[in-house]
Amino acid sequence: MSLDKRLGQRFLPYGANYLDWSDMHELREAVGHGVLFRYQTESESIASRLERRVSQRLGAAHVLAVHNCTEALRLALISTRPRTGALVHIPAVTFVAVAGAVLSSGLVPVLVDVDDSLSLDATLLPQDTERVIVAHMEGTVAPLPEGVPYVVEDCAQALGGRFPDGRHAGTAGYAGTFSFHHNKVLTSGEGGLIVTGDPDAWATMRCYHDHGSARVPGRYPTWNADAHYGENFVTSEGVAAIQFQQFRHLDELLAGLERMHALAMDELPDRSGLEVLPRAPGDVKISLRFRCESRELRDTAVATLTERGIANWTLDKYFLPAHPVLAGRRSLYADGFPWSLAPAGLPLALSRDGFARTRDLLDRTLCVPLSPELPEQEQVLAVKAVRQALEAV
């Protein structure tokens, strides 16, 4: 692939650049065994090996592989054994799947405004808040609210991130969830993980994700006398094998992001009207984030970068107050479930200004992805291309 092409639109983001047939030892093993269901293998499943590897890499006590991150969020919420209609506070800026996970669990989302970093503003939470989902957006490791019994960390965009005290993102709250969608740090197309330090929560999650079964690997599923119902979120050996391969490259990928981010911070123009937003040491630096002085300047920068074949994106699509799922409060159930269970008189949106400041921040924010797979010299050229484009705005 030519350098010009590699500096352009990212058809293969992040982990996809590290997919390599010659490195797919686990996938070949799974196919060779002819058994792709994790609980039917004669020896330890690749899914179990993946969970152990993740546990060691992230310092997580318990890990469970599932189909996707939305299911992981649902498992985290259901394992708290809530009442239907219970409130779950979520950030006003995140992917709609977070709200979808709440609603499909029979719970009601409450939108909480964000701070300047676009992380949930914990100062807006009521004192009696029981359940909060904190999203580590764009690799930014957000602080967690204190005094809340169930804090779920959505780490879909922050695999490998760390808090200032050294703990990995996902391991500081009640549970942490991770995504392996195509556009994430590592990818298996789809796929998810949930981690927790609570052994009882993990046992509940494990049973629920397999029809309520207390399955013993290699045997037909069994149920305890006090079994509850569940669903089928069980991952396959094929997906787990690809994730295993991806984890071999996590440190390499994170180092490439760090290197290119450092290069960019030295090279990018210091110009009026365009601020490069800082990154904390523990953030996963998946992109350069810019805050423009106006929506018009942001849109001009987008047009210029796009015209020059430089990938970029905006964050408008993450503004949940305007999303039809939240704004319309529609339901496929005839009685409007679970919106119909929302406590009367309680606000389902918490903001000091009706989200006006947040809307303005999103209107002026621009992101340019980094390329961890490129050699350093090509990263230098890529950064210069971004700089030249922004200087021309």
Active site residues: 184
Q: Which residues contact 330 (CB under 8 A, 6 or more apart)?
A: 324, 336
Instruction: Tell me how far apart the alpha carbons of residues 185 and 105 are, in angstroms, rounded to a whole number.
Output: 27
Backbone angles phi, psi at 221, to 5 degrees: -60, 145
With beta carbons less than 8 A apart as the criterion, state whether 72 and 190 touch. no
**Token duo for residue 249:** 């490259």
Nearest to 204 by CA among 196, 194, 216, 212: 212
Nearest to 117 by CA among 94, 97, 147, 95: 94
Distances (CA, A) of 71 to 76, 233, 258, 339: 9, 7, 30, 20
CA atoms within 13 A on the CB side of 85: 9
